Structure 1
Amino acid sequence: MARHRVPDLSARALPGAEFALRVTPRASRNALSEDDGQLRCQVTAVPEDGRANAAVTELLATALGVAKSRLTLVRGVTARDKLFRLD
């Protein structure tokens, strides 16, 4: 996938940690940012057939420096507000 704009969140990569995200699908670029403690994720993928969720998982895993398989989508499969847990 193309390069991403991601902050280094590796200090937060603790087992059991949860990450609440506000997602914007169909964005012009893939990016992850933090505004006032709220993580915001922009992905170019469309919200169909789980494509946007997969892109968000990949972006968050890159920022945390962990494998995608260690992230679990706990809440928000079809919503813009999502909650991920690091296993």
Structure 2
Amino acid sequence: MREPWRYSTQGISIALRVTPRGGRDDIDGIETLANGRAVVKIRVRAIAEGGEANRAVTELLAKVLGVPRARIKLLAGATSRLKQVAVDGDPRMLGESLRKAIAAKLDTKD
């Protein structure tokens, strides 16, 4: 399966599919959309009004990746479930942190 993030010299860019009012703040793994695009599935408790879900996504990613919230920027999809975010930092470390978080989630499903 293709990773839903791209590396750059500044960090990584992550494709997300967000479920607001999802009951908990968590990463649910990787999903391949009908068009073949891979995305990280994220659910947040926040509602999709006034940017609350976007803030919750930023907070969750900051916690999972171990970076300050200020290093995470929403690039596209402010009002959509499909979002693109950029995370500034060491690209290899960020990619590895995300990979570990997704693998840990998959291990708990078994």
Per the normalisation by structure 1, the TM-score is 0.77
Deviates more, 1:15-24 or 1:66-75: 15-24
Q: 1:1-87 counterparts in 2 under 5 A?
A: 15-36=10-31, 38-87=39-88
SS in 2 for 1:62: helix
Query: What is the CA-CA distance between 1:16 and the residue it aligns to?
Result: 3.0
Gaps of 5+ in 1: 1-11
Per the normalisation by structure 2, the TM-score is 0.62
Answer 1 or 2: which has greater helix percent.
2
**Any runs of at least 4 consecutive aligned residues in structure 1 with deviations exceeding 6 A, and if so which?**
none
- Give the total of aligned pairs: 75
- Residues 22-62 of structure 1, C-alpha deviation per residue, up to 9 Å, x if partnerless? 00001111111322553111001001111000000000111
Deviates more, 1:77-86 or 1:27-36: 27-36
Query: What is the CA-CA distance between 1:77 and the residue it aligns to?
Result: 0.2
Q: CA RMSD in A?
A: 1.7
Higher CA-based Rg: 2
Q: Distance in 1 between matches of 2:51 and 2:68?
A: 18
Q: Distance in 2 between matches of 1:19 and 1:69?
A: 16
What letter is aligned with 1:31? Answer: D
Other-structure match for 1:5: none
Q: Distance in 2 between matches of 1:15 and 1:64?
A: 15
Query: What is the CA-CA distance between 1:86 and the residue it aligns to?
Result: 1.4
Identity over aligned pairs, percent? 43
